[in-house]
Chains A and B, each alone.
Chain A
């Protein structure tokens, strides 16, 4: 019981710590360009050193790679990490009828809490003293909100600081209109003379006005003007919040407009905001829009793209299989005085691997060596993946040894790529042997390893081994992937083991591996095929 309490308190504490750490963290993470969803993994471990940040960056790259490149191999994705949470913004936090205050979703408005004292002193704080106990505004009506506010202020015994007011405003703004929120803020200032709004208070309003679906920027301007008149001219953080909110609401054109305007009047975006918006534009708009935007900022405000920007651009064109443009960007990058780093090379190598160009991928690797850029784990994983994919498993195998020599230990991704290559070659037994080797070396296979193997075994008509493997997966509670499930079901039907195919269907539904509709239509198609085969006397 004691430990449970401690654990609970500790969690709370860390959440809080996260809340104040975010403004900085966000900025640190911006260039990574993943929105809040990405912040969650590091929620409990705010890391400070550059090294850990690098690791995170690498991790992200690897994850992304596992996802992006999983296109053709059936089961290459790490399903331990729900990829959707990484790539998509969390749903644009739309007004809900009741929003509890302390959602960890949007703490970036709450500025620094008091400097973190040692954990012990804080642990003793009971949650009751916490001024931010959940308050729920039920109606967007201003009068109701004022009443509620009055009742809170009169009953509260502890002095209320501005954080409390921020929280209230945040909660109210999530269900009300911009104008009502501004009025509510005015009301709070008037009735509580001790409360003086901070920059963060206005940021709440700003993000609300950015998220409201307007056809122009008038609401945003209104809030910005309010900030200026109260002595808070917009700064970098303001720009950042506005850009992020606008982008998450799908108002990219407005974001561009606002960035230009803010650069002119107040504060230009810093490199994190800049790269965030570039990344977002790459995802949602045509490449020419992105180039225009970059040119405009460069010409009017001397804001130059940095190496990260180029990496984002190259990544984007590589994913679009436009390698020529990637090569051109590489030249531009050189002309701008940058030296491509490991990440740029990895991205380009990935581009070649998508196109099954093994030799070019090796070329990139050699170039890295020439330029003195040290290949990292991602480089080797990409290379091994690309070679396996283009049917050059033997060479891929060689790189397994090379990477071990260089001090990078092959992980589940490496082995899964190799197994995928072996299965494609028709060497399922080799893949199984590799699984043993992998486990012997202390690298535990993940669900995509198993999915790859299941797929390969079923394709290569080694159903018994496949069923065995499926048993292991089931006992480990691993999810099936669509491709391996489909192959498995088809193989079972081919052997006339329909009941087992039904059982696999049940497992998919039960483990929520993917949607029931796909699971069912796959099963139905296989059975349809079976009927036809039987009619022709091909199956038992």
Chain B
């Protein structure tokens, strides 16, 4: 099911993906974390995820939960614990919504 859907999404609606790849101007909080003024949503996700991995921020008892440090808290709405499942949605908040 999914691959065909993704394929269709790519061929029919290139803008949907553009929203993932296009560089966006970052708000100041995120700019501090990333160290760049512009980044794509995909790039930003990769940064955050590799930051989590590098600093071993996953809860050792439940790998699905991230225990945020100060730096991470500043960009993830100040939550102390974030589920991995929410991560993409939280990062998306920093980026401009899709224009329709």
Contact = CB atoms under 8 A, between A and B. Distances in A.
B17 interface: yes
Contacts of A19: none
20 contacts: A482-B6, A487-B2, A490-B2, A498-B64, A499-B58, A499-B64, A502-B49, A502-B84, A516-B42, A517-B21, A520-B45, A521-B17, A527-B86, A527-B88, A527-B89, A528-B88, A528-B89, A530-B85, A531-B85, A531-B86
B52 to A, nearest CB: 9
Interface string B1-34: 0110010011000000100110000000000000
A531 B6 contact: no
A499 B6 contact: no
Contact of B89 (A483, A490, A531): A531
A12 interface: no
B83 interface: yes
B71 interface: no
A393 interface: no
A255 interface: no
B63 interface: yes
B45 to A, nearest CB: 7
Given A517-B21, A521-B20, A498 B58 contact: no
A483 B6 CA distance: 10
A499 B2 contact: no
Interface of B: 2-3, 6, 9-10, 17, 20-21, 42, 45-46, 49, 53, 58, 63-64, 83-89
Given A499-B84, A523-B88, A530-B85, A517 B17 contact: yes
A491 B64 CA distance: 15
Contact of A522 (B6, B17, B63): B6
A482 B3 contact: yes
A106 interface: no
Given A527-B85, A527-B88, A499 B3 contact: no
Interface of A: 74, 482-483, 486-487, 490, 493, 496-500, 502, 506, 509, 516-518, 520-528, 530-531
Nearest to A497: B64
Given A483-B3, A522-B2, A530-B85, 11 more contacts: A482-B6, A499-B63, A500-B63, A502-B49, A517-B17, A517-B20, A517-B21, A520-B42, A520-B45, A527-B85, A528-B89
B17 A486 contact: no
Identify which of B3, B6, B20, B45 gathers the most chain A CB atoms within 10 Å of its CB: B3
Contacts of B6: 482, 486, 518, 521-522, 525
A74 B3 CA distance: 9
Interface of A is mostly: helix
Contacts of B86: 527, 531
Contacts of B20: 517, 520-521
Nearest to B58: A499
Nearest to A496: B64
A315 B50 CA distance: 47
Contacts of A493: 85
B7 to A, nearest CB: 8
B3 A498 contact: no
Contacts of A482: 3, 6
A18 to B, nearest CB: 38
A356 B99 CA distance: 41
Nearest to B10: A518
Identify which of A483, A500, A509 gathers the most chain B CB atoms within 10 Å of its CB: A483
B53 to A, nearest CB: 8
A502 to B, nearest CB: 6
B88 A524 contact: yes
Contacts of B87: 527
Nearest to A505: B49
A468 B58 CA distance: 23
Contact of A498 (B17, B46, B83): B83
Identify which of B2, B9, B88, B89 gathers the most chain A CB atoms within 10 Å of its CB: B2
A23 to B, nearest CB: 41
A74 B17 CA distance: 23
Identify which of A482, A487, A520, A528 gathers the most chain B CB atoms within 10 Å of its CB: A520
Nearest to A493: B85
A467 B24 CA distance: 37
A510 B86 CA distance: 23
Contacts of B9: 521
A299 to B, nearest CB: 41
A486 B85 contact: no
Nearest to B9: A521
Contacts of B64: 496-499
Nearest to B45: A520
A525 B21 contact: no
Nearest to B4: A483
The 5 closest A-B CB pairs, nearest first, are: A499-B63, A486-B2, A483-B3, A498-B84, A498-B64
Nearest to A516: B42
Nearest to A520: B42
Given A486-B2, A486-B3, A496-B64, A517 B84 contact: no
Nearest to B88: A524
A298 to B, nearest CB: 39
B42 A517 contact: yes
Contacts of A523: 88
A101 B58 CA distance: 53
A498 B52 CA distance: 14
Nearest to A534: B85
